[in-house]
Amino acid sequence: SPLIPLFQAMESEISAAFDSGEPEDILSRAFKLTVTREDICTLQPLGWLNDRIMNFYMGLLVERSKKEGYPAVYAFNTFFYSKLSSTSHRGVKKWTKGVDIFEHDVILVPIHLRIHWTLLVVDLREKTIKYFDSLGQKGDHICKTVLKYLEEESREKRNIELTASEWTLHSMGTEEIPQQNNGSDCGVFVCKFADFISRDKPIIFTPEHMPYFRRKMVWEIIHQQLL
């Protein structure tokens, strides 16, 4: 198959990203972020994904969403929610300077809960806020915090009142989305939840896909291109 040499080339490139050179070597630069070998190494089996990897991957999803046939995606960075929850809208209103988030279809909010990654997704077309946790914990209070943020953002930026009662808030149950089977894959789950959602695709992967997704993400980040 003509794909085999391609995969072999990709594999050797991925291995080289992990194994050759210095931790501070820069392997990718985009979205005002630099990704070093040390960052990339968090994608090794059972590594904990760091903020740089998460934010870079969200950048790739947003970039892809500009192509025809994809929903328009806006992604907040991983520091947004902790800032919002500690300060309210006032503390983050400058984060959307020059951007109308309401012109998008989907808003991704990756969330760092001390030692765990989760994802909140606002679908502006459906007026839904959904919380995705690969350990099955509920995030109803997180959904409410973000709805309140949207109300204030809409009032301040567009002078439009959102009707909270029109919105559906929902924490995804363990039977609705795949769950991690170890203590370290939460970041990869968040990236792949976001990947499938930002293509309007049903979430059909399993924990068994994680080693493959990790390697694929190395290639995608280095090449700044989603496969």
Please report the pLDDT score of residue 39 as a whole number.
95
Beta bridge partners of 74: 107
Residue-averaged pLDDT of the chain: 93
pLDDT tens column, 12-24: 888 889 988 889 9
Average pLDDT over residues 154-163: 91
Active site residue 186: yes
Q: Which residues of 161-191 are buried (b: 16+ CB within 10 A; e: fewer)?
A: ebeeeebebebbeeeebbebeeeebbbbbbb
Please report the pLDDT score of residue 10 as a whole number.
87
pLDDT band for position 6 (cuts 50, 70, 90): low
3-state secondary structure of 69: coil
Average pLDDT over residues 176-203: 96
pLDDT band for position 64 (cuts 50, 70, 90): very high
CB 227 within 8 A of CB 52: no
133, 143, 185, 195: which one is catalytic?
Answer: 133
Please report the pLDDT score of residue 4 as a whole number.
67
pLDDT at 88 over 90: no
Return the structure tokens found at 76: 């907040």
CA 50 to chain centre: 12
3-state secondary structure of 134: coil
112, 186, 191, 195: which one is catalytic?
Answer: 186
pLDDT tens column, 117-152: 999 999 999 999 999 999 999 999 999 999 999 999
Q: C-alpha distances in angstroms, 57 versus 151, 168, 216, 221, 223?
A: 28, 27, 12, 7, 12
Tell me the whole-structure pTM to 2 decimals: 0.93
pLDDT above 90: percentage of residues in the chain: 81
Task: Give me the architecture of the 8-223 domain, per CATH.
Answer: 3-Layer(aba) Sandwich (3.40)
- CA 35 to CA 24: how far, in whole Å? 9
Q: Can you give the residue ranges of every domain in the chain?
A: 8-223
Which H, E and C letters describe 150-181, residue by residue?
HHHHHHHHHCCCCCHHHCEEEECCCCCCCCCC
51, 105, 116, 209: which one is catalytic?
Answer: 116
> In this structure, what DSSP letter does residue 44 have?
S
